[in-house]
Amino acid sequence: MADTDVHEATPQDIRRGRRIALLLFLVGFGPIVVATIMFYTGWLNPSDRTNKGILIQPPEPVASMGLETAEGRPFESEFGPEVSGSHWTLLITAADACADACQEMLYLARQVNTALGKNQNRVKRAAWLEQPPADLSDYPEMRLLSLPEPASADWPRGNGPFDAPRAYLVDPFGNVMMQYGPDHSGKDMLEDIEHLMKISQLG
């Protein structure tokens, strides 16, 4: 039987492999990183561009909210670069009974999602409602989340749903980066999200 030559990797081979791996990473993830930096910092964006919602700087991890899915999984497990098919998420939160302001938030989230047109599949909707309405049939795509320990939730900037119903925008990496209160309109949300869809390939 003929001996089989085994080629041992030289230091040059190792360095070449690392350069190729770095190049592949930059090609695949470079545009995503740049787009995210552009949005959060305004870099290379028109100077007169202003977001309508309240920008959370630095963005805060959705994990700090302690939310769980209906299946009992941590909500944050649906986000991150290692998660296939992660999306932007418009998260509605409201404490106590879901009264008029809460109902308006649910309605606006649905209308904004529809108005995104071809990009509507890039944005999911979810809600934590301390006392959900008996009938949510008008919002079939709205996923209800639970909060096992409401008092322990760390809401972004301390502006939680106990003050007023809120909408949070969560990026596909699981960063809570924008919030909207009852004083914001559906147009405000739509303009911000449309801008994001233009500059980012995330989601």
Residue 24 CA: distances (Å) to CA of 19, 113, 137, 190: 9, 34, 46, 34
83 inside domain: yes
Query: Are 37 and 73 found together in one domain?
Result: no
pLDDT of 200: 81
Query: Are 35 and 125 found together in one domain?
Result: no
Query: Are 12 and 42 found together in one domain?
Result: yes
Query: Are 195 and 114 found together in one domain?
Result: yes
Query: Are 115 and 58 found together in one domain?
Result: yes
pTM of the model: 0.74
pLDDT in tens, 37-55: 665 555 555 444 578 899 8
Question: Is residue 83 within 8 Å of residue 124, measured between CB atoms?
Answer: no
Gap between the Cα atoms of 128 and 147, Å rounded: 7
pLDDT of 23: 73
The maximal CA–CA distance of the chain, rounded, in angstroms, is 83
Q: Supply the DSSP symbol for 144.
A: E
pLDDT in tens, 97-140: 899 999 999 999 999 999 999 999 999 999 999 998 888 888 98
Query: Are 23 and 98 found together in one domain?
Result: no
Gap between the Cα atoms of 91 and 115, Å rounded: 17
Query: Are 19 and 75 found together in one domain?
Result: no
Query: Are 110 and 153 found together in one domain?
Result: yes
SS3 96: strand
Query: Are 32 and 77 found together in one domain?
Result: no
What domain range includes position 61? 54-199
Gap between the Cα atoms of 28 and 103, Å rounded: 40
Span 79-101, average pLDDT: 89
What tokens appear for 192 in the block? Answer: 């911000």
Q: Give φ, ψ of 44 to 5 degrees.
A: 65, 5
Query: Are 130 and 150 found together in one domain?
Result: yes
Q: What percent of the chain has pLDDT over 90?
A: 44
pLDDT of 192: 93
Gap between the Cα atoms of 110 and 119, Å rounded: 13
pLDDT above 60: residue 74: yes
Is the bond preceding 161 in cis, omega lying within 30 degrees of 0? no
Residue 19 CA: distances (Å) to CA of 12, 29, 32, 106, 117: 11, 15, 20, 48, 40
pLDDT in tens, 158-169: 667 777 899 999
Query: Are 117 and 164 found together in one domain?
Result: yes
1 inside domain: no
Query: Are 164 and 81 found together in one domain?
Result: yes
